[in-house]
């Protein structure tokens, strides 16, 4: 970033020196194009760099938003386990465009406003009869099973047995983690077909929290709203503050509005050090 800034300054100064020589020589042919070039170089800015940690969060957001849109057409349990990549990456690029175009969006991200963890995209807990035959390696402390259906799912979708614990006096529980976002509701459906499995917990929180919503508009653009919730998470009436952007098919981003309950001073966090405006810190 610093190298690019220095390069721009050097180019700008070189052009200015050349223009000065031409003026002294009274050579004005094509001067309007030169001035346009100076303006372009002077105002051109490199794109905002997106940290890898932010990219990973937005990819997870895009996966959840893709599944939410898909759930409007059909129950996720009966859809593919793999999330369609094309719509997921389209939504990912929408979120990245907002982040790069507006400092407000970068501040919202720093306050950790991302999609609420529903639907599940990375974990499920499989609860099963402790004495079932295929769980013999698990009872010996080995993260493997003797069940061909489970082993095929682990291999096909790059799943990891993260934890094996006692659930209660009769059942054990197996935590399955996905290395890439998946439709865990559809995966859970497959585990229900395995002998001895009595329940699959997708780990959806019972409380409400901050979120990102996405809505397609008739003109082909997207309305994206970042939702901050604060106050008691168990109260019937929590407090909400929102920021909304529209992203058009050509990639243009337009900030639409900010609205909602006043943000308590004790929750605030800065935009940048050089900016006196504030935004809230999510939790």
Summarize pLDDT for 43-74 with one digit per residue, the tens.
456 789 999 999 999 999 999 999 999 999 99
Buried b / exposed e across 75-111, counting CB within 10 Å, b at 16+?
ebeebebebeeeebeebbebbbbbbebbebbbbbbbb
Burial class (CB in 10 A: 0-12, 13-18, 19+), 54: middle
Cβ distance 145 to 135 under 8 Å? yes
β-partners of residue 211 are 227
Q: Flag whether pLDDT at 36 surpasses 50.
A: no
Give pLDDT, residue 6. Answer: 46
Question: Is residue 78 scored above 90 in pLDDT?
Answer: yes
**Lowest-confidence pick of 76-90, 141-155, 172-186, 262-276:** 262-276
Q: What is the mean pLDDT of the chain?
A: 84
This model's pTM is above 0.95: no
Contact 182, 121 (CB under 8 A): yes
How far, in Å, CA of 220 to CA of 94, rounded? 12
Q: How confident is the model at residue 275 (pLDDT cuts 50, 70, 90)?
A: very low
Give the pLDDT of residue 273. 36
Fold assignment, 123-201? Alpha-Beta Plaits (3.30.70)
pLDDT value for 10: 53
pLDDT of 193 strictly over 80: yes
Cα 62 to Cα 214: distance, rounded to the nearest angstrom: 10
Distances (CA, A) of 221 to 111, 200, 248, 253: 26, 37, 4, 10
Domain limits of the chain?
A: 2-43, 59-76+90-117+206-283, 123-201
Count of residues in the chain: 283
Calculate Rg over the CA atoms of the chain. 26
């Amino acid at each position: 970033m610093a190298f690019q800034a220095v390069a721009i300054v050097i180019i700008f100064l070189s052009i200015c020196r050349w223009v000065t020589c031409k003026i002294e020589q009274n050579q004005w042919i094509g001067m309007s194009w030169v001035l346009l070039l100076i303006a372009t170089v002077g105002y051109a800015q490199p794109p905002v760099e997106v940290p890898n940690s932010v990219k990973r969060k937005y990819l997870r957001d895009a996966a959840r938003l893709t599944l939410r849109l898909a759930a409007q057409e059909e129950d996720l349990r009966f859809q593919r386990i793999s999330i369609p990549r094309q719509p997921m990456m389209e939504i990912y690029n929408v979120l990245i465009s907002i982040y790069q175009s507006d400092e407000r969006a970068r501040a919202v991200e720093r306050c950790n406003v991302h999609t609420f963890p529903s639907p599940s995209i990375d974990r499920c807990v499989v609860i099963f009869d402790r004495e079932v035959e295929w769980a013999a390696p698990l009872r010996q402390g080995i993260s493997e099973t003797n069940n061909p259906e489970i082993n095929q799912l682990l291999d096909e979708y790059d799943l990891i047995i993260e934890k094996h614990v006692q659930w209660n006096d009769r059942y054990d529980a197996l935590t399955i983690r996905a290395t890439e976002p998946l439709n865990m509701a559809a995966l859970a459906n497959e585990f229900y077909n395995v002998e001895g499995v009595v329940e699959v917990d997708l780990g959806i929180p019972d409380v409400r929290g901050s979120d990102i919503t996405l809505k397609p508009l008739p003109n082909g653009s997207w309305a994206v709203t970042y939702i901050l919730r604060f106050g008691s998470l168990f109260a019937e009436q929590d407090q909400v503050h929102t920021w909304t952007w529209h992203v058009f098919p050509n990639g243009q981003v337009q900030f639409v509005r900010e609205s909602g309950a006043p943000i308590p001073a004790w929750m605030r966090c800065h935009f940048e050090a050089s900016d006196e405006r504030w935004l809230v810190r999510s939790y």
